[in-house]
Amino acid sequence: MNPFTGTGVALVTPFHDDYSIDFQSLKKLIDFTLAGGVDYLVVLGTTGESATLSPAEKKLVLSTCIQHTKGRVPIVYGIGGNNTQAVLDQISQTDFKGIDAILSVSPYYNKPSQTGIIAHYTAIADACPVPVILYNVPGRTMSNMTADTTLNLAQHPNIIGMKEASGNLEQCMRIAANKPKDFLLISGDDILSKAIFSIGGEGVISVLANALPSTFRDLCNGSEDASLQAAFSLLPFNDLMYTEGNPVGIKNLLSHMGICGDQVRLPMLRASIDLNLQIQEVYKKMN
């Protein structure tokens, strides 16, 4: 079985109130998600607030995750950006010991053509010593990777999958219908995971799995009824996770669970009083 099927958890990076990294809570979160049945960790993606961590901090977070996980599950590391050469430089400067694949977001802000996106990812895949998972998230990048672009890149021997967060099920169907057999279609939307599985998706990279790992274990690996009920159980939580931006919501939920604090770095702000109360109420009902 491919190691990147099932549930990948997009780990948050816990902070102390002074905004320094809370490494003890990070270790606690890793243990909690692994005990809940996640299949792999995604370190320093968007949910990990990679945009506001320094290179030195990223190195420390990555090494902590590798050392604490001790090979129990694979690790996917976030390396991406809108400057292709800068991404290639980061790849050349990264020690890939303990890293099993990278997750690389489609270039944002520049809004390149589809041909430009293909050239960007081809350069990354040619240079990267571990497999590459593409990441399409138009809501953040302001440009969509079409199904044809994904299928073109799926032919590259070092590109193994796509985290699809376009919310476009027809686009996902076109990828599923025409992709190579060993190319992974991975849901990038927690709430659409069950629907994407039904058309040929093979896993999810999840925000909510930080707090609800066993729910995603059931969603990905349970019986049809258990999987459907797990998917339905996400409905009260999902919108609240993004009302004030990610990872504001999930960190607030984790704080109610006693796993880590809810501090985020500017320009994000910790959950408002109203959002905090809403998440607290949903969490109480869950328990």
Tokens of 173: 């169907």
In a domain, 276, yes or no: no
Arithmetic mean of pLDDT, 253-263? 98
Binding residues, as ranges, are: 47, 205
Domain count, the chain: 1
Per-chain mean pLDDT for the chain: 97
In a domain, 274, yes or no: no
Cα 84 to Cα 92, 104, 107, 247, 264, distances in angstroms = 12, 11, 8, 26, 28
Tokens of 43: 């370190």
The whole-number pLDDT of residue 128 equals 98
Confidence label for 287 from pLDDT (cuts 50, 70 and 90)? confident
Tell me the per-residue pLDDT of 102-146, one tens digit each, with 9 for 90 and over: 999 999 999 999 999 999 999 999 999 999 999 999 999 999 999
Q: What percent of the chain has pLDDT over 70?
A: 100
Which run of H or of E encompasses 147?
helix 147-153
Instruction: Assess contact for 236 and 280: CB atoms under 8 A.
Output: no
**3-class secondary structure per residue, 188-255:** CCHHHHHHHHHCCCCEEEECHHHCCHHHHHHHHHCCHHHHHHHHHHCHHHHHHHHCCCCCHHHHHHHH
Structural domain that includes position 116: 6-222
Arithmetic mean of pLDDT, 50-72? 97
Q: Which residues are registered as beta bridge partners of 158?
A: none
**Nearest in space to 149 (alpha carbons), one of 107, 195, 200:** 107
Instruction: Tell me the Ramachandran region of residue 110: left when phi exceeds 0, alpha when psi lies from -120 to 50, beta otherwise.
Output: alpha
The whole-number pLDDT of residue 286 equals 87
Is the pLDDT at 54 greater than 90, yes or no? yes
Tokens of 99: 């890293």
The whole-number pLDDT of residue 2 equals 86
In a domain, 65, yes or no: yes
Binding residues for pyruvate, as ranges, are: 47, 205
Arithmetic mean of pLDDT, 236-255? 98
CA atoms within 13 A on the CB side of 30: 27
The whole-number pLDDT of residue 271 equals 98
Tokens of 12: 């948050």
In a domain, 277, yes or no: no
In a domain, 254, yes or no: no
How far is Cα 165 from Cα 189, in angstroms, rounded to an integer?
A: 5
- pTM here? 0.97
In a domain, 178, yes or no: yes
Q: Return all residues near 30 (Cβ < 8 A) that are at least 6 apart.
A: 11, 41, 65, 68, 69
Instruction: Assess contact for 260 and 234: CB atoms under 8 A.
Output: no
CATH of the domain at 132: 3.20.20.70
Tell me the per-residue pLDDT of 89-100, one tens digit each, with 9 for 90 and over: 999 999 999 999
Tell me the per-residue pLDDT of 168-223, one tens digit each, with 9 for 90 and over: 999 999 999 999 999 999 999 999 999 999 999 999 999 999 999 999 999 999 99
Active site residues: 135, 163
In a domain, 25, yes or no: yes
The whole-number pLDDT of residue 142 equals 94
Is the pLDDT at 88 greater than 90, yes or no? yes
In a domain, 215, yes or no: yes
